[in-house]
Copies of this chain bind each other. A is one copy, B any other.
Amino acid sequence: MTMTEERLDAAFAALADPTRRAIVSRLARGDATVSELAAPFDMSLPGISKHLKVLERSGLISRGRDAQFRPCHLEVEALDGALDWIGAHRRMWDERFDKLDALLAGIQRAPAPASPRQGRARPRA
């Protein structure tokens, strides 16, 4: 999946906070209401709601339409976009070293140039 730069900006910015990462972590195990999400934190409901708004604007979560509970849901495609970006650059880095390794292996396999001193016994003192 290819994400626009703006979506990537928003996804990475949303993940740059421990409370929001904990919310994403909880939602990876299943949908949850705001009260359920707030339970493990020493944080007010408005405090949690603020984080949920950042996550919702980033596309990382969506919220149900049920007016009373509005369960939160992880939008895994947005997570994939961020994962793909980092993964692609990680592979780019690895491939660079694979190429270096192949180059070095090629150099080691090539016959060493004959030394002009080769085969000559050094006269004993």
Cα(A30)–Cα(B100), bound, Å: 12
Contact B89 A86 (CB under 8 A): no
* A79 interface hit (Cβ, 8 Å): yes
Interface residues on A, range: 20 to 34
Asked whether A2 is an interface residue with its Cβ less than 8 Å from the other chain, the reply is no
Interface of A is mostly: helix
Q: Known contacts A12-B15, A13-B12, A82-B86: does B21 contact A96 (CB below 8 Å)?
A: no
- Tell me the minimal C-beta distance from A14 to chain B in angstroms: 8
CB nearest neighbor in B for A91: B28
A16: contacting residue among B16, B74, B89, B92, CB under 8 A: B16
Specify which of B15, B93, B96 is in contact with A86 (CB 8 Å cutoff): B15
For residue A85, CB closer than 8 A to chain B, the reply is yes
